Structure 1
Amino acid sequence: MKFFEHKVVVGKSAFPILFMAFGAALFPSPSVADSNSKIKAIEEQLERITEELEQEKEHRRNLEKLIEELTIQGEAPSPTAETSPEPMVNPESEPPAGAEGELLEGETTTPLVFSEEKYSRGPEFTGGLTGILQGSSKTARGDGQTNASAVLDMEIVYSQNDIYYLIIGAKAWSGRGLDPALATDIPVNYGAERLAGDKDEGIIISHAYLEGLFLEKRFIISAGKMDVSSLFDENILAGSEKTAFVSGAFNRASGIVGKSLEPLFSPALRIILTPAPWAEFQAIYAHSGFDHLERNPYLVAQLSFRPSMGGLEGNYRFYYVSDGREYHDLGGAETRSNRVMGLSFDQFVTDHMGFFLRYATTDDTIKENRVASMASGGLTFSGGLWGRWDDLIGIGYARLGLNDNIDNSANSDGQTALEIYYNARLNPMIAITPDVQLHSNLPTAQDRDITIVALRAQMDF
């Protein structure tokens, strides 16, 4: 802009000179010598103006060349960072240029090559508080009991160029729920049971890892401390203890079929490949501690398909777990690894209704695998059917298959669970969920059928 402003100024200064030249030509003065000297002066001034213009043009060419060189080296001025939420938090926010595969000026077509900072996003903070009041008609001691639990989730996400992410999360809890008072193979309060263990309250860094999104997000790699059991066997309709089912049978098979990774939050390396919009492959290398990572690994491979049936979303996942920790063979004292195979399907059949299926099975020659398999399924309905678009109703049924190679005389049929919930969204921050569970064939000699009623409050911020 300065170049053009200077050019305009120079142009204005030339007009009086040109006017004088025309005046001299039209009205010559009596003195020819004077006229010749004036003409010569005008010519000299025009030459100086021409030289100045050429210098300005050369200066502009040099500036353009310098900008081009800086751009190629990745040193061009940084675009202004976006102040709107990052797309993974708010999908409707407008991403910055280049965030969805469009190359920024000067960015190479090879995203694995490091480039200078262009923009950053964050840190962005999200959190939620899940409180559950839950009562059982009977416990292991025969009497009824009412317990409360609360889990606080906090997460910070920092993004660099929408390619590199630093994700840190923490959990705090108070109360262990009803599970310690029950003899059950199916957790009745999945969120509190998997987190609390034998501690009534605590706080922990649940995850802290780096994640990189490359090749237009078709290749993702993550490394650090993670909640490994939440990374696979996921399900859109039956996979969130905060908004959907409370029971563990409708959240994950891990921990019911096969043993959960301990500690729950462990070091891991995850790779996700998406060769096509309808297919995804995921591989996880995890470990039960931070020492001797080369020994006894916990390996997961999952293949997912996402076909679009009439524009309705569906996900079909198949996974395999190789648990390298030491287990005991039923045939003797030999120790060996464990394995779990499973599937998790969710499919919308209308805009307001979908179904889900989950199945998992494990090695029945291992002593620790008293539960050999689990099958569950159900339906979820959107409140849009009756004008409450953010509400959900879910009904699910689950059944366990016991290991026939182990004496399960106290419960030969395997435990079953029926759960119904209604998630009512009161406002963008608060949702209330009444929930009922009916459990049969608990692994006890008596009081094998129980009813559990709960009220869950979810607050997001």
Structure 2
Amino acid sequence: MPHFPLQQLAVSVLCSLAAVGVWAQSAPVAETEDTTARYQLTYNWQHHNAFKAGYSGANSLSSQSERMYTFSTTAHWGFRPWQDGELYFNPEVAAGIPFSGNLVGLGGFTNGEITRAGGSTPKLYRQRLFVRQTWNQGGEQEKVDSDFNQMAGLVDKNRFVLTAGNFSTLDVFDDNAYAKDPRTQFMNWGNWTYASYDYAADARGFGWGFAGEWYQDNWVLRFGRMTGPKEPNGLPVDFALGKHYGDQVEVERGHMLADQPGKVRVLAWRNRAQVASFNDATQWLQSHPGLQTTPQALIDVRGGEKIKYGLGVNIEQAISPSVGFFLRAMKADGRTETYAFTEADGSLSTGLVFKGGLWGRTDDAVGVAFMRNTLSPERRGFLAAGGMSYFIGDAAGATQTLSYRPEQVLEAFYSFQMTRGTWLTADYQRIQNPAYNADRGPVHVYAARLHAEF
């Protein structure tokens, strides 16, 4: 299959690792920063075994043994143009090839980087361009550490923060200390946000809009509106924010439990867009026999604005300084097709992360997680009728109907720090009932990931 040229990859990796070593040894950590320039590089290689498949359809994951990869390198540049203001710009180069030559056959995909990869030729694009303004409102102060798209400094515990421009909904909403970043933590989509959170974004996962955050001691209220795609899961952005959009509201409460910190977040979201109703699409299939091998049913019944919504809870809890627990659970209404994320209407993910200090390697980590994704009756009925949606459709063009079961994923990883700023991660995922089909699988996925920060 096509792949990123190994010579170019080797040069990029070696140059990045050398830069990491020099920067890590010489760069001081400022208490307050007025500018920032940080970079990352990630290469993720994955392989799945050949697996049992009673049948395959037009959007099935191949049952033959396969490999895939993603590569990305990103610059995170920022400065303070005025008091308490921050401006950030992120150019990124990305490449990659998914399993089966297309992003199909799963609800919980195995690599969070694949949404930004568009083939074996590396592509440069603008990932983010946004401004952040903070209005401090008194109370005690707390330190903000230097990080990607975050400059070190001091802020009031009581403050209001506005983010506006080109960014990802997930930059602000649904944070979690233990399961958030597919470049450094778990790789599966269902572990870096709710699988059933159909958040508004373009095909790469970004959009235009605004988000407000009101901090009051241990409480945070967040709200925001973001653009979605002109067509479901497409790259062109629909800028009609008064007509088509994704809204979200999140309440967060920080607490101490047995002297260990934790947070609980409740997130509600609502999309308004031109998307297809599954019941309408199922009726279209029944009146157009022989056309189940294309997504034409969904395309033909799109028209008029429809509402899609969901509600979820997100928990992170330190059990000890070296052990953390997380849980996410969400339910979406599931009456309309996927707008911008993946094929799931209910999702649960939970797990533990162990820091390497437990065995004398402070910057290593081990994680283990379980995910369970479900579909609504309306989506199941469409697939059982032979329908094909954006990502799944085992029965489309097959001689059998869908044997529905919830998709279940077990994921475990070990992140090993090679040098300061570079990590090598081994990851394993076992997927039971891929694409919600008990007649296929299980699928075993093995991965190796190289990640560097400087």
TM-score, length of structure 2 as denominator length: 0.70
Letter of the aligned partner of 1:413 in structure 2?
R
1:271 to 203, 212, 231: 212
Structure 1 partner of 2:108 = 186
Structure 1 partner of 2:409 = 417
Structure 1 partner of 2:316 = 346
Does the alignment pair 1:94 with 2:31?
Answer: yes
Structure 2 partner of 1:232 = 173
Structure 1 partner of 2:327 = 357
Question: Displacement of 1:308 after TM fit?
Answer: 2.1
Q: Equivalents in 1 of 2:185, 2:110: separation in Å?
A: 13
1:131 to 37, 43, 48: 43
Summarize the Cα distance change of 1:311–1:373 in structure 2 as closer, same or farther, 3 Å threshold: same
Root-mean-square deviation over aligned CA pairs: 2.5
Paired residue secondary structure (1:306): strand
Paired residue secondary structure (1:166): strand
What do residues 92-145 of structure 1 show as CA deviations (whole Å, max 9, x unaligned)?
6333xxxxxxxxxxxxxxxxxxxxxxxxx5432101001111111037332111
- The answer on whether the counterparts of 1:267 and 1:290 sit within 8 Å (CA) in structure 2 is no
Question: Displacement of 1:269 after TM fit?
Answer: 1.0
1:262 to 174, 199, 202: 202
Summarize the Cα distance change of 1:432–1:198 in structure 2 as closer, same or farther, 3 Å threshold: closer
Summarize the Cα distance change of 1:147–1:297 in structure 2 as closer, same or farther, 3 Å threshold: closer
Question: Displacement of 1:258 after TM fit?
Answer: 2.9
Structure 1 partner of 2:222 = 282
Summarize the Cα distance change of 1:286–1:182 in structure 2 as closer, same or farther, 3 Å threshold: closer
Q: Equivalents in 1 of 2:220, 2:65: separation in Å?
A: 46
Question: Displacement of 1:330 after TM fit?
Answer: 4.6
Summarize the Cα distance change of 1:436–1:251 in structure 2 as closer, same or farther, 3 Å threshold: same
Superposed, which structure 2 residues align to 1:129-278 within 5 Å? 129-138=41-50, 140-160=61-81, 163-178=84-99, 180=102, 183-191=105-113, 193-196=114-117, 201-216=122-137, 217=155, 218-253=159-194, 256-258=196-198, 260-263=200-203, 264-276=205-217, 278=218
Question: Displacement of 1:161 after TM fit?
Answer: 5.8
Q: How many residue pairs were aligned?
A: 344
Does the alignment pair 1:297 with 2:245?
Answer: yes
Identity of aligned residues (%): 17
Q: Equivalents in 1 of 2:373, 2:333: separation in Å?
A: 14
Q: Equivalents in 1 of 2:223, 2:363: separation in Å?
A: 34
Question: Displacement of 1:281 after TM fit?
Answer: 0.7
Summarize the Cα distance change of 1:453–1:367 in structure 2 as closer, same or farther, 3 Å threshold: closer
Question: Displacement of 1:291 after TM fit?
Answer: 3.3
Q: Equivalents in 2 of 1:184, 1:434: separation in Å?
A: 21
- The answer on whether the counterparts of 2:334 and 2:375 sit within 8 Å (CA) in structure 1 is no
2:356 to 362, 383, 398: 383
Summarize the Cα distance change of 1:322–1:351 in structure 2 as closer, same or farther, 3 Å threshold: same
Question: Displacement of 1:259 after TM fit?
Answer: 5.9
Paired residue secondary structure (2:74): strand
Letter of the aligned partner of 1:441 in structure 2?
N
Q: Equivalents in 1 of 2:174, 2:199: separation in Å?
A: 14
Question: Displacement of 1:201 after TM fit?
Answer: 3.6
What do residues 206-239 of structure 1 show as CA deviations (whole Å, max 9, x unaligned)?
1111111112541111211112233212211010
Question: Displacement of 1:345 after TM fit?
Answer: 1.0
Structure 2 partner of 1:309 = 257
Q: Equivalents in 1 of 2:46, 2:337: separation in Å?
A: 33
Question: Displacement of 1:336 after TM fit?
Answer: 1.2
Question: Displacement of 1:267 after TM fit?
Answer: 1.1
Letter of the aligned partner of 1:143 in structure 2?
Q
Structure 2 partner of 1:456 = 449
Summarize the Cα distance change of 1:91–1:287 in structure 2 as closer, same or farther, 3 Å threshold: farther
Q: Equivalents in 2 of 1:384, 1:229: separation in Å?
A: 29
The answer for unaligned runs of 5 or more in structure 2 is 1-26, 52-60, 138-154, 229-236, 281-300, 385-400
The answer for unaligned runs of 5 or more in structure 1 is 1-89, 96-120
Q: Equivalents in 2 of 1:311, 1:170: separation in Å?
A: 41
TM-score, length of structure 1 as denominator length: 0.69
Q: Equivalents in 1 of 2:404, 2:257: separation in Å?
A: 40
The structure whose residues are more often helix, as a share, is 1
Highest Rg: 1 or 2? 1
Q: Which moved more, 1:259-268 or 1:304-313?
A: 259-268
Superposed, which structure 2 residues align to 1:63-142 within 5 Å? 93-95=30-32, 121-138=33-50, 140-142=61-63
Letter of the aligned partner of 1:237 in structure 2?
Y
2:346 to 373, 393, 399: 373
Structure 2 partner of 1:438 = 430
What do residues 135-187 of structure 1 show as CA deviations (whole Å, max 9, x unaligned)?
11037332111222211121101024661111111221111343736511111
Structure 1 partner of 2:268 = 320
What do residues 32-72 of structure 1 show as CA deviations (whole Å, max 9, x unaligned)?
xxxxxxxxxxxxxxxxxxxxxxxxxxxxxxxxxxxxxxxxx
Summarize the Cα distance change of 1:335–1:199 in structure 2 as closer, same or farther, 3 Å threshold: farther
Kindly indicate whether structure 1 or structure 2 has the higher relative contact order, using CA contacts under 8 Å at least 6 residues apart: 2
Paired residue secondary structure (2:358): helix
- The answer on whether the counterparts of 1:176 and 1:200 sit within 8 Å (CA) in structure 2 is no
Question: Displacement of 1:337 after TM fit?
Answer: 1.4
Paired residue secondary structure (1:426): strand
Question: Displacement of 1:402 after TM fit?
Answer: 1.7
Summarize the Cα distance change of 1:380–1:186 in structure 2 as closer, same or farther, 3 Å threshold: same
- The answer on whether the counterparts of 2:95 and 2:116 sit within 8 Å (CA) in structure 1 is no
- The answer on whether the counterparts of 2:210 and 2:226 sit within 8 Å (CA) in structure 1 is yes
Question: Displacement of 1:257 after TM fit?
Answer: 4.4
